[in-house]
Structure 1
Amino acid sequence: MCGIAGYHGLEADEALLRRMNGCQHHRGPDGEGIVVDGPVGLAHRRLSVIDLDRGLQPMSTSDGRYTVIYNGEVYNYRELRTELEGLGHTFVTESDTEVALEAYAEWGEQAFDRFNGMFGIAVWDRETQTLTLARDHFGIKPVYVCRVPGAGADGSDAWLFSSELRAIIESGHYDRRPNDRTIYRYLRFRVHDDGRETFFDGIERLEPGELMTISAAGVERRLYTRLREELAELSAVQRPYDDAAVAEFRTRLVEAVRLRLRSDVPVGTSLSGGLDSSAVAVIINRLLGEGDTASTAAVGVRQNTFSAVFPGSVNDEERYVDAVLEACTGNVASHKVTPTPSEFKEDLLEFVRTQEEPLISSGPYAQFQVMREAAQHVTVLLDGQGADEMMAGYVPHYLVYLRQLRAQGATKAAAELARSLDVLYRLGRSRLRATVRRRAQIPTTQLLDRAFVSAHAAERYTPEAANLKKRLIEDIYVGSLPSLLRYEDRNTMHFSLEGRVPFLDKELVRFLFSLSDEAIIREGWNKRILRDATRGLLPDSINRRRNKIGFTTPQSEWFMRLKNHFYGIFLSESFATRPYFEQTEVLHAFEGWIQGSNDVDSMTFWRLINLELWLREFFDEKPEEVPTPRIKTDYEPNARKQLDLTLADGRVVRRYPLRTDLFAREDELDEKALSYVDRFFAGLPEAGPDHAAPTSGRWYYFISEKIVAITQGRSYFIWDIKVSRSARVLSRYVTRTPAGIGLGSPFTMQLAIQEAGLPRVVYAAAGGAVGKLVGKRGLFYELVGGDIRAIDGPTEYSVYPANVSAKLAPKDPDDVAARLSAAIRARLPEPYRSTFGGTVVMDANDIGRNVLGKDAPGPKEYYEAMFADNPLGQGSEQTPMAIVFEQPSA
């Protein structure tokens, strides 16, 4: 397993090759090599698995004509080597790389169809000056290509290729652009990796079984194999499903596993507890028990298995994992990881970065964790990938099969339906729950930018719905397996592991598709032939399982735990300014999901989050690394603010923002708040002559209404607010500001209804609508009365928990101000006591200022003018109070 990269058509550039190689170091930490020959440059990173001391790449034939770089394994390399030796070829290594090279020298492009394995390969033919790229039959290993217009020495086009996208992205020859069509299909239809296009405009992937030749004559892309067509043709054969077919399938599956144990480094097994990976584990256990040391040498005395478990979760498969371990007692060493939501949050950016393109769900994070653990013990890992697509492992496959039977006759369909009711129930229960609970239905397009949706309105995705074998072939090559193979490739290679998938043995797949459909689904059971072939090997609790989970996370549970973090992503300025999302609708939907009032699922929110994080990682400019700022003293302004402000009448006021700890509901406001006043005046004499307090001018204590409301218990986590239908409807007619302030959220609107009453809010809303028609703004707040204007929703820039909370205005703010002033006068010495002018409860932000309460003399407008530039900052400064001095006149 390795990483390949290179170019065709550029001037000699070893620095480029080393740069591309460096991007893929994790794919091959055991060695590297480059070759430059005329218009071609080849780069290789090696993960040593076969013939550790030799097999270095790039590798050339003895006559120098052909040079290869290769990522993957050809499992039938020993058999091919024997055949090639019979044709006169000689070998100097024991590697499969040399076999692949000599096979190409003998058979040309036809060699690829002889390979049984996984590969991304590049062969340079010096004689014909042709570069050939190819990808294995099922697309297990990736190959990406990118045309570079006019980059050749004579102004012709050049080409880049690599095993991972980042090598092309960082090449210096690619102008980064997101592929809007792929993004739309991902968000709208939940598909990706379903063709040549990637999420990066201008970078494509070779498709399964495809080769590409580049030469002076031009570029050609075509399939080197007819395997996909053969599977369709074999499906028409419909060999009978009987005991002989089961026995042959078992023999072929055991052989597929045996071939994939060929290794000069330790081999382990990825064990999810499902039927497929469990079958691989027990087959290896059987080989160990039979003493087949030639096949199991790389496994060792005991098979190492690696599993993810989620105690207490509906997704937990530990009991099934343990059943397999018990069946393998004496021959197995189990390693379990227990991923947590906090670990997921911590790893999230690395996980997104590793995958390079968005994923359909967060499920592969469980595999990510498993691979991290496995890398501490083995270098090669077998698993059960591909079996679901071969043998109808997903619930929707039942519907396809039932439609097929219905077309063949009502009796057949009815008989199968009667045996599949439990499966169909699982398919429909989420929809049933939404109907019973009367959850609002929100189409995905409602969450997307209207112009973006309009631009891609012609896009369609319609999978095969009435022919089982056609649907399975489609899922193998387009609809399902390509994305799963990408996840596995990135998760394994990120930790320098080689993943092997025995079910994707092309001879095994060919045999399966030659059998009747009863081998796949029969009497309500899917994967029928695998169940029959492993009866007696697998515990009945696994062999007779109907429900499938696999390596996945308890996504909905985790999202609810991490809702404040994800809410912050949806609130962010970058999310708001993307051309893909309708931020207000997304926030409404996420708020409703938290409350359980709509039918949007966590998969939809994951796609939005994943896309946003992917855009940040690969397209947004990275902020410069700045050292952690020094915490400011009480006598310094906040960043980009100033201490002094000249008022309209020429008077000058100096504002000292005081940094505090966070305030919580259980805090006693007076004592905690005034401790910061004490600290300020105690340190003032040492603050320096520039901060000498005036003895003649008055000073005032300003306190943010937020901390007053918090300590009064008038701040609420958004998910603790029970939103009424009225609040949900009314909030849609209020503009949500970019800062998240106001009543544009159903949560803040609900608080307004609680404070002012629904009739008054409706009356004010009607009046506000009329006001807008006549050009008068703000009429809603005039009509609703009270301190409704001070109700705040969650804001991205605020520190936790304010970023996920909504709050009312403080209760009795004049009384609060008077009480605080009395406490200040009782504890401060002269001359500060006699010059103290009073307390102001201020609602201030970068948009406006509003005095909610005070005991200081004069109009509130005077004190609002003192905060014209909001010296408290806005959010993470943690300066919710200020000491303000009137400077004496000159």
Structure 2
Amino acid sequence: MCGIAGYYGLSANEALLNTMNDVQEHRGPDGEGIFVDGPCGLAHRRLSIIDVAHGQQPMATADGRYSIAYNGEVYNYLDLRAELEGLGRTFETDSDTEVVLQAFAQWGRDAFDRFNGMFGLAIWDRDEQRLTLARDHFGIKPVYVCRVPASEGSSSAEALLFSSEIRPILASGLYEKKPNERSIYRYLKFRAHEDGTETFFDGIERLEPGEMLEADADGIRRSMFTRLREELLELAEEQRPYDDAAAAEYKARFIEAVRLRLQSEVPVGTSLSGGLDSSAVAVIINQLINEGDKRTESVGTQQNTFSAVFPNSINDEERYVDAVLEICKGHVDGHKILPTPEEFKADLRDFVRTQEEPLISSGPYAQFQVMREATKHVTVLLDGQGADEMMAGYIPYYAVYLRQLRAQGAKAAAAELSKSLDVLFRLGRFRVKAKLKGRKDVPVTSLLNPAFTSKWTDERFPVEQSHLKKRLIQDLFHNSLPSLLRYEDKNTMRFSLEGRVPFLDKEVVKFIFSLTDEAIIKDGWNKRILRDATRGLLPESINRRRNKIGFTTPQSEWFMRLKNHFYSIFLSESFANRPYFNQTEVLHAFEGWIKGSNNSDTMMFWRFINLELWLQEYFDEEPQVDKATAQAAPKSDVEPNAGKSLDITTERGETVRRYPIRTELFAKDDDLDAKVLARIDEFFETLPTAGAEHDAATKGRWYLFISEKIIAITQGRSFFVWDIKVGKPARVLSKYVTRTPAGIGLGSPFTMQLAIEEAGLPRVLYAAAGGAVGKAIGRKGLFYELVGNQIAAIDGPTEYSAYPSNVSAKLAPKDPDQVAARLSAGIRSRVPAAYKDSFAGTIVMDANDIGRNVLGSDVPDDKARFEEMFADNPLGQGSEQTPMALVFIQDTD
């Protein structure tokens, strides 16, 4: 497996080729090469699999006319080589690359349809000055293209960049990055994400399965080199009878497909999920080992299998994996990987970066983990990708088949339905359960920015609903398989592995489609032909399984474990500022999911999270950090927080110095006084060593300013949002309040619920009515004046706060004046004598970068004076963890 890149229509540019090549080094760590001729440049990264000693690329024919950069494996290359030798062609290497090159030199574009395998390639014809790109029949290997302005003096109006991944095009510097809003809308609304030529990058496209592109002086042309899709439809009309002989022939064909994909000079292993498909591959390889088949030399006497397992999870497949390992006992070394939600969180940005475009679930992360482990043991990995789309492996296919049967006659449909009821029940059981519990659906469009959705209201995502094989062909080439193949390519190549998919043998697929539909579904059993072919090879527990899971994660469980992290993503300013989302509604819906009060699901929330992280990774200028967990640089007590200053001169002419004091995080039931006073002791113990700071601190009166947040936390007046029981009035009222990105105010049903509980619903309604009148007459803040009870100090989760405040809502502290007096008494009883007389008291301050408000104090002074001292908010309650400050009034004498 390899990586290709290059251009057409530009001046010779080796530096550009090297730049594009470097960013996909992981696709080919074993070698690299570039080729330049006139307007064409080719670049290649090599992962050596066949003819390791030779086969370096770009490779040219002996006469120099054709040059190739090739990614993939053509498994029938030995047969093609023999045919080409019969036509008089000679070979200098044993690689399939040279066979592909010579085949093109012999047959031109007709060569591609002869290949049985996977490929993404570029061939330059020196004599015709023509670049040809091509992608295999099923799109197993990717080819991305992007049109850019041609070099000055070029004979072409526009130039072309191409590569195996998107990042080389981004790195070229010739493409101006822009998100594809149509793709974003279709992804969010329909879950479509690999359903055509467009990518999520506006102007970057992919070749479709079975497509080729030609670029020369006459322009750029795209066309299909194969009629495979049409052939499958034509074969479907043949309706050859399905019987034991057909099952036996399929078995022989599939075993040969596996044998062909064991060709390798480097170690080969198997990806084993425990499902029917990957288990079939594993047991066939085991049978070939037992038979002493020469092709298994690449596997060795012990087949390495790699499985993701999730103990105690509903998604766990370990018992099925163990059943396969038992069948293969003596010739297998089973590696089990146990992904955790903590690892998922740590890997999330790398995973998003690896995939290059959004995906519809976190499921492929299990595969990501498997590939990371597999690369320690093997270089090639076989798996079961593609079987579901050709043999109706997903539950919705049953509904399609039943509609088809109903059109053919009610009796046949009724008979099939009676034997499929348990399967169909699984399709609808969660929706039925949600309806019984009264949970409401949350349409995804209700969570999007109306201005964004209005642009794309005409978009549709038609799906074949009443013809089984037409639906399978649609999913093979358009709706389903392309995305799965993308996941596989990105995950394997991220760790320099080659993935091979024996179910996508072109001839095997054509054979299945030539049979009647009963080879696919019969008597409630899908994948019937595969079940029949593997009876006696596979354990009955797998051969007769009716529930499919596969390589995926326990997403719902993980989301609940990581809800605080995902909540902070939705709460972030970057998410709030995107033109695609309605942040308030997304937060409402996510809070409802946490509480179990709506019928939204993690698949929908994953799309929002994935899209946001993708935008951060590929479009935001500044690298994103988790503000709630990222640690600020260490500082001493006499240094300001980053971006802040120690000193401020108020409008009254007072010069004030504020020392922000770093503390440990506060929790419920902590002894507030003990923790605060201990830190004040430390401050004065170290102050004499601070030089000039010592002199500045001894000249005037000083105060303790303390954040209301830590007081509320220690009083048990801070609550996780998912622990607040929200009533209908809070949900209704909160929708009429603007929700700030910083989480301040009553724009959340959780903060509104706290307000109702604190002040009472009648008073909140009274204040809301007064607030509406105040808006009409231009008077701001009337709501908070009328409601009282320090409701203005209620805050929701804030992105910048340290955990758990980033996922909590809190009330104002109880009895803040008493807290201030108590702390002041403690300070006076213990500070050094030199500072005791000048200590003036404690101020409980609600401060942030938007505003500040004195909630309590034991100082008989104007509150506005103290608020002026915090006009620039020197505190830091996120990663800085400085929720209090010692404030000194500088003596001007």
The bucket for the TM-score relative to the shorter chain is over 0.9
Q: What's the counterpart of residue 175 of structure 1?
A: 176
Q: Distance in 1 between matches of 2:699 and 2:298?
A: 87
1:547: how far off?
A: 0.5
Q: Distance in 1 between matches of 2:113 and 2:152?
A: 32
Question: Matched residue of 1:832: which SS?
Answer: helix
Q: Distance in 2 between matches of 1:824 and 1:129?
A: 85
Asked whether the 8 Å contact 2:632–2:879 carries over to 1, the reply is: no
Greater mean deviation of Cα atoms: 153-162 or 353-362: 153-162
Letter in 1 for 2:80: L
Greater mean deviation of Cα atoms: 502-511 or 698-707: 698-707
Q: What's the counterpart of residue 712 of structure 1?
A: 715
Q: Structure 1's 282 and 860: CA in aligned 2 closer, same or farther, altered over 3 A?
A: same
Asked whether the 8 Å contact 1:305–1:335 carries over to 2, the reply is: yes
Q: Structure 1's 58 and 649: CA in aligned 2 closer, same or farther, altered over 3 A?
A: closer
Q: For residues 499-578 of structure 1, what are the structure 2 equivalents within 5 Å?
A: 499-578=499-578
Question: Matched residue of 1:827: which SS?
Answer: coil
Query: Is 2:867 aligned against 1:864?
Result: yes
Query: Is 2:166 aligned against 1:165?
Result: yes
Q: For residues 41-56 of structure 1, what are the structure 2 equivalents within 5 Å?
A: 41-56=41-56
Q: Distance in 2 between matches of 1:189 and 1:66?
A: 43
Q: Distance in 2 between matches of 1:693 and 1:295?
A: 82
Question: Matched residue of 2:834: which SS?
Answer: coil
Question: Matched residue of 1:590: which SS?
Answer: helix
Q: Distance in 2 between matches of 1:491 and 1:208?
A: 19
Letter in 2 for 1:847: I
Q: What's the counterpart of residue 263 of structure 1?
A: 264
1:435: how far off?
A: 0.6
1:749: how far off?
A: 1.1
Q: What's the counterpart of residue 779 of structure 1?
A: 782
Asked whether the 8 Å contact 1:9–1:153 carries over to 2, the reply is: no
Query: Is 2:100 aligned against 1:100?
Result: yes
Letter in 1 for 2:614: W
Q: 762, 765, 768: which is aligned to 2:771? A: 768
TM-score (normalised: structure 2): 0.97
1:722: how far off?
A: 1.8
Q: What's the counterpart of residue 421 of structure 2?
A: 421
Which string of whole-angstrom CA distances, capped at 9 and with x for unpartnered residues, describes residues 155-177 of structure 1? 73111111111111101211111
Letter in 2 for 1:270: S
TM-score (normalised: structure 1): 0.98
Q: Distance in 2 between matches of 1:518 and 1:689?
A: 89
Q: Structure 1's 876 and 559: CA in aligned 2 closer, same or farther, altered over 3 A?
A: same
Letter in 2 for 1:284: I
Asked whether the 8 Å contact 1:641–1:873 carries over to 2, the reply is: no
Greater mean deviation of Cα atoms: 143-152 or 54-63: 143-152
Which string of whole-angstrom CA distances, capped at 9 and with x for unpartnered residues, describes residues 79-108 of structure 1? 111111111111121111111111111111
Q: What's the counterpart of residue 849 of structure 1?
A: 852
Asked whether the 8 Å contact 2:150–2:159 carries over to 1, the reply is: yes
Q: Distance in 1 between matches of 2:220 and 2:455?
A: 31
Q: What's the counterpart of residue 586 of structure 1?
A: 586
Q: What's the counterpart of residue 121 of structure 1?
A: 121
1:819: how far off?
A: 1.1
Letter in 1 for 2:206: R
Query: Is 2:4 aligned against 1:4?
Result: yes
Q: What's the counterpart of residue 363 of structure 1?
A: 363
Stretches (4+) displaced over 6 A: none
Question: Matched residue of 1:297: which SS?
Answer: helix
Asked whether the 8 Å contact 1:149–1:158 carries over to 2, the reply is: yes
Q: Distance in 1 between matches of 2:730 and 2:211?
A: 56
Q: For residues 640-789 of structure 1, what are the structure 2 equivalents within 5 Å?
A: 640-692=643-695, 697-789=700-792
Q: Distance in 2 between matches of 1:64 and 1:867?
A: 75
Letter in 2 for 1:436: L
Q: For residues 467-482 of structure 1, what are the structure 2 equivalents within 5 Å?
A: 467-482=467-482
Query: Is 2:807 aligned against 1:804?
Result: yes
Asked whether the 8 Å contact 1:121–1:134 carries over to 2, the reply is: yes
Letter in 1 for 2:389: E
Greater mean deviation of Cα atoms: 688-697 or 158-167: 688-697
Asked whether the 8 Å contact 1:210–1:222 carries over to 2, the reply is: yes
Q: What's the counterpart of residue 485 of structure 1?
A: 485
Q: Distance in 1 between matches of 2:30 and 2:842?
A: 69
Which string of whole-angstrom CA distances, capped at 9 and with x for unpartnered residues, describes residues 439-463 of structure 1? 1221101111111100111110011
Question: Matched residue of 1:871: which SS?
Answer: coil
Asked whether the 8 Å contact 1:684–1:692 carries over to 2, the reply is: no
1:315: how far off?
A: 0.4
Q: Distance in 2 between matches of 1:459 and 1:691?
A: 68
Q: 628, 639, 644: which is aligned to 2:642? A: 639
Query: Is 2:203 aligned against 1:219?
Result: no
Asked whether the 8 Å contact 2:617–2:623 carries over to 1, the reply is: no
Asked whether the 8 Å contact 2:157–2:219 carries over to 1, the reply is: no
Q: What's the counterpart of residue 191 of structure 1?
A: 192
Which string of whole-angstrom CA distances, capped at 9 and with x for unpartnered residues, describes residues 358-381 of structure 1? 111110000011111111111111
Asked whether the 8 Å contact 1:385–1:501 carries over to 2, the reply is: yes
Letter in 1 for 2:376: Q
Q: Distance in 2 between matches of 1:220 and 1:829?
A: 84
Q: Distance in 1 between matches of 2:151 and 2:593?
A: 50
Asked whether the 8 Å contact 1:663–1:711 carries over to 2, the reply is: yes
Q: Distance in 2 between matches of 1:245 and 1:763?
A: 78
Q: For residues 248-397 of structure 1, what are the structure 2 equivalents within 5 Å?
A: 248-292=249-293, 294-397=294-397
Question: Matched residue of 2:836: which SS?
Answer: coil
Asked whether the 8 Å contact 1:694–1:888 carries over to 2, the reply is: no
Q: Which runs of 5+ in 1 are unaligned?
A: none
Asked whether the 8 Å contact 1:638–1:657 carries over to 2, the reply is: yes
Q: What's the counterpart of residue 228 of structure 1?
A: 229
Which string of whole-angstrom CA distances, capped at 9 and with x for unpartnered residues, describes residues 465-520 of structure 1? 11100000000000000000000001111111110000001100101001111110
Greater mean deviation of Cα atoms: 480-489 or 145-154: 145-154
Letter in 2 for 1:474: Q
Greater mean deviation of Cα atoms: 112-121 or 141-150: 141-150
Question: Matched residue of 1:839: which SS?
Answer: strand
1:521: how far off?
A: 0.5
Asked whether the 8 Å contact 1:152–1:158 carries over to 2, the reply is: no
Query: Is 2:890 aligned against 1:887?
Result: yes
Asked whether the 8 Å contact 2:3–2:45 carries over to 1, the reply is: yes
Letter in 2 for 1:861: A
Asked whether the 8 Å contact 1:3–1:163 carries over to 2, the reply is: yes
1:567: how far off?
A: 1.0
1:792: how far off?
A: 0.9
Q: Distance in 1 between matches of 2:180 and 2:754?
A: 42
Which string of whole-angstrom CA distances, capped at 9 and with x for unpartnered residues, describes residues 741-775 of structure 1? 01111111111111111222222222222322222
* CA root-mean-square deviation: 1.6
Q: What's the counterpart of residue 244 of structure 1?
A: 245
Q: Distance in 2 between matches of 1:577 and 1:416?
A: 51
- Provide the identity percentage: 72
Asked whether the 8 Å contact 2:269–2:382 carries over to 1, the reply is: yes
Asked whether the 8 Å contact 1:395–1:427 carries over to 2, the reply is: yes
1:598: how far off?
A: 1.1
Greater mean deviation of Cα atoms: 541-550 or 611-620: 611-620
Letter in 2 for 1:599: N
Q: Distance in 1 between matches of 2:579 and 2:624?
A: 25
1:873: how far off?
A: 4.0
Question: Matched residue of 1:654: which SS?
Answer: strand
Asked whether the 8 Å contact 1:381–1:498 carries over to 2, the reply is: yes
1:629: how far off?
A: 6.1
Q: Structure 1's 238 and 11: CA in aligned 2 closer, same or farther, altered over 3 A?
A: same
1:356: how far off?
A: 0.7
Letter in 1 for 2:372: R
Q: What's the counterpart of residue 15 of structure 2?
A: 15
Asked whether the 8 Å contact 1:122–1:132 carries over to 2, the reply is: yes
Q: Distance in 1 between matches of 2:890 and 2:60?
A: 84
1:266: how far off?
A: 1.0
Q: Distance in 1 between matches of 2:143 and 2:633?
A: 48
Q: Distance in 2 between matches of 1:176 and 1:682?
A: 55
Which string of whole-angstrom CA distances, capped at 9 and with x for unpartnered residues, describes residues 540-576 of structure 1? 1000001000000011111111111111111111111
Asked whether the 8 Å contact 2:660–2:884 carries over to 1, the reply is: yes
